[in-house]
A and B are shown apart, each in its own frame.
Chain A
Amino acid sequence: MAKKVRVKNLCKSFGSTEVLKGMDLEVSEGEVVCLIGPSGSGKSTFLRCLNQLETPTSGEIEIDGYLITDKNTNINKVRENIGMVFQQFNLFHHLTAKKNIMMAPIDRKKLSKKEAEQRAMELLTRVGMSDKADSYPRQLSGGQQQRVAIARALAMNPDIMLFDEPTSALDPEMVGGVLQVMKELAAAGMTMIVVTHEMGFARDVADRIVFMSDGYIVEEGPPSEIFTNPKEPRTKDFLNHVL
């Protein structure tokens, strides 16, 4: 299958702190990869490097055949193809749910207001939020905001979705709804890289688990292998703490 993401020897330092120390990863089209690992191991930093919210110190990242670590690549164009969902939702506070979704397609893809609105309503329906189309973010619960945020990312028709702990800031009763939306997305064939502490979700939905620690990929494999029969002691140790 076609490779959607290819990461080669990716390194990232903040000043003198080395956070990513040479990561290699390939993700195929339609694959769901769950990134797990202890706090501070560099999961967010890795994800943010993939759409250049962080500039890597060295290494190569290829997305959809575009070498995005090359300065000549138009990163804005590539980003349209990479949806990102944040732990803190980051919905635009000054726009309603519907307008949050409509903004980028109108601004970037030059959709008419009508087309964008129709698309926004479809997406809101898809994430079960059509009745809150005209609500502002602050009028929504965390779980509702996150579902709108997923819809907003989908509005640009990305073929890769990045999730950075999308349920970590949610009340427990809100987690299920968001995970359900993500499950449906995975089932629809979306290529997904998900940083998560939801081991149940990782086990059910992921094609592959990648365990990170201290800026390295320690171990990777299908969930059945990683969760039942981890090889590395560090993986075992981590899983003992979270399972």
Chain B
Amino acid sequence: MDFYGVLTNMYPMLLDGLVMTLETSLLAILIAFFLGLLSCVMGMSRIVPLALISKFYVWVIRGTPFIVQLFIIKYGIPQVVQLWAPGFNFTIFQAAVATLALNAGAYMSEIFRGSIQAIDPGQMEAARSLGLPKTRAMIKVILPQALKISIPMLCNQFIISLKDSSLAQVIGLPELFYQGKIYVGRTFRSFETYIIVGCVYLIIITILSYIIKRIERNLDYGKKS
């Protein structure tokens, strides 16, 4: 066993993979945030078709494996689009980000919905009693509070998405795990390589968890001010 040797040898690949992993999951989670917000607002809308679209979206994403979603987007969708636009394709990166974003967006939609429902109805009533229309009350009173309580859960979703991004190696995304696989293919150092790859995930996620804990601790309004 030669961890040190493997580490120094694969270090450039490891770094490339890490950058790709972070890039993919950060971009995806950012898109997912707005997607989730949109889906949540649509889901609570009184306009039935909008609400149904949101429900359908969440239902499909939650009810299918991530890897199947990945294949549908990378290989399935382009095939259909090619009927109208020959030559159309997603890059690997686009497909990975899109799938990851769609996936996390559905869960975030549910996180937002839960957070909004957790706000005391008295807050809405107080805002309405002052003359604010429902949408304004939502924007000025409910959403700021709901977003704040959803922060830990959103961060948690980020951790899940970061780990899920490793699945995108099956469509060839050169992320952390993919780089590990390539390295093993070249050197047959399975044990050291995969342990090292695992450790990199572990370190990143430990740092993230620590940040989340800090945020959680400062979540109450006016705790220190």
Contacts and interface: CB of A to CB of B under 8 A. Distances in A.
A236 interface: no
Contact of A94 (B126, B130, B132, B221): B221
Given A88-B122, A90-B125, A94-B145, A77 B131 contact: yes
Considering residues B126, B133, B144, B148, which has the most beta carbons from chain A within 10 angstroms of its beta carbon? B126
A103 interface: yes
A156 interface: yes
A85 to B, nearest CB: 9
Nearest to A48: B125
A51 B131 CA distance: 10
Contact of B133 (A76, A84, A134, A139): A76
Nearest to B136: A107
Interface in B169-225: 220-222, 225
A175 B52 CA distance: 49
A79 B130 contact: yes
Interface string B110-124: 000000000010110
B44 to A, nearest CB: 19
A92 to B, nearest CB: 6
B54 to A, nearest CB: 26
Contact of B128 (A79, A92, A94): A79
A93 interface: yes
Contacts of A77: 131
A152 B123 CA distance: 13
B223 to A, nearest CB: 8
Contacts of B127: 92, 104
A64 to B, nearest CB: 13
B140 interface: yes
Contact of A76 (B120, B132, B221): B132
A83 B136 CA distance: 18
Contacts of A134: 225
Given A92-B141, A94-B221, A104 B131 contact: yes
Contacts of A137: 221-222
Given A76-B133, A107-B140, A108-B132, A91 B221 contact: no
A164 to B, nearest CB: 10
A113 to B, nearest CB: 14
B8 interface: no
Nearest to B139: A107
B144 A94 contact: yes
A90 B130 contact: no
B129 A84 contact: yes
Considering residues A88, A94, A152, which has the most beta carbons from chain B within 10 angstroms of its beta carbon? A94
Interface in B10-27: none
A139 B222 contact: yes
B113 to A, nearest CB: 19
Contacts of B225: 134-136, 139
A227 interface: no
Considering residues B128, B129, B132, B145, which has the most beta carbons from chain A within 10 angstroms of its beta carbon? B129
26 contacts: A53-B125, A77-B131, A82-B129, A83-B129, A84-B126, A86-B122, A88-B122, A92-B127, A92-B141, A93-B123, A93-B145, A94-B144, A94-B221, A96-B222, A104-B132, A107-B136, A107-B140, A108-B131, A134-B225, A135-B222, A136-B225, A137-B221, A152-B126, A152-B130, A153-B129, A153-B130
Interface of B: 120, 122-123, 125-133, 136, 140-141, 144-145, 148, 220-222, 225
Given A77-B131, A138-B221, 5 more contacts: A76-B133, A80-B130, A91-B126, A103-B130, A137-B221
